[in-house]
Amino acid sequence: MLFPDYRPRRLRQSESLRRMIRETTLAADDLILPLFVIEGKGVKNPIPSMPGHYQLSIDNLIDVAKHACGLGIPAVMLFGIPDRKDSLATRAYAKDGIVQKATKELKETLDKLIVITDVCLCQYTDHGHCGVLQGQTVDNDATLDLLAKTALSHARAGADMVAPSDMMDGRVAEIRETLDENGFSNTAIMSYAAKYCSSYYGPFRSAAETAAKFGDRKTYQMDPANALEAIREVTLDIEEGADIIIVKPALAYLDIIYRIREEILLPIAAYNVSGEFAMIKAADKMGWLDGHKVMMETLTAIKRAGADMILTYFALEAAETLRKICSE
């Protein structure tokens, strides 16, 4: 049909009409809130590059999680900041580690909240890399056992889902086998399957205190120029037992989300990372754009590209907006 018989603008004449034909909808159910937990009590350390976010002690973490639940956000992702670090990341898999304690208290307080735990060693190593070092190289195979021990300790603490973000080859299989052998076959794995070596992680490095003391992560995280490799990585993790896969970052990698959505049937999560968050907040502060509107447009774009769920630092703000829309 051609103009004037067909006029697409007819269905854009009111907000109600636009809602009726909207192809992509965003809901609080789609959101996962990342949280940073630190030792101590009454701690709420501001993260300068991530306005509204903090390093939280467990008591304050629970308050934020309660608020998230009240807004309909179904899940949080925990990142731990330990009291000490060493070359073997021993606090990552310690029974009394910060993530283990936080997970236990969250599940006891908010039993319906889905607690997802980041499984990586970079926060816990004194060198800041995501695995065991052999000289100045991360030893892939020597790291697998420690990752599996970390995931198991999280499951024992009550985690509903573990999320390996290290990008070591074979880690999903190692974690799945370890969980199953120890009676945690129902603990799901949300794998960072397509995690790129991105400059968008800058604010996160400060928030989680994970800056590497030397070198970079290019030998284990993906080259931003590659797309077909992402499909290979995702396929490998699914074959090894992943239940959900993550694409990270999200906004600069919408094409990757779309390609993977065309290839797989498993749920896809996209991580709207710290740099993407910080840029919008900074531009809004400068008056260069309407940060609130850009937030909603960004999250909708990620969902439109094919993501089933979005890890985002905008989760609380977006959920509050969605609640207001529903009540109008």
Neighbours of 255 (CB within 10 A): 11
Between CA 205 and CA 212 the distance in angstroms is 9
* Residues 6+ away with beta carbon under 8 Å from 309: 30, 31, 32, 75, 244, 267, 268, 269, 270
Long-range contacts of 57-65 (CB under 8 A, 24+ apart): 58/98, 58/101, 58/102, 58/105, 61/35, 61/37, 61/102, 61/106, 62/105, 62/106, 62/109, 62/110, 64/33, 64/35, 64/316, 65/33, 65/35, 65/106, 65/109, 65/110, 65/113
Tokens of 256: 């990757």
Neighbours of 299 (CB within 10 A): 25
| Candidate list 149, 195, 281, 303, residue with the active-site label | 195
Residue 65: which of 33, 38, 39 has the closest Cα?
33
Strands 44-46 and 54-56: antiparallel
Query: How far does Cα 203 stand from its chain's mean position?
Result: 14
Concerning whether 95 is annotated as a catalytic residue, the answer is no
Concerning whether 195 is annotated as a catalytic residue, the answer is yes
40 DSSP assignment: S
Secondary structure of residue 265 in the 3-state scheme? coil
Inter-CA distances, 193 with 29, 142, 196, 248, 256, Å:
22, 20, 9, 8, 12
* Residues 6+ away with beta carbon under 8 Å from 67: 316
| Candidate list 44, 95, 104, 248, residue with the active-site label | 248
Largest Cα–Cα separation, the chain: 71
Q: Which sequence positions are flagged as catalytic?
A: 195, 248
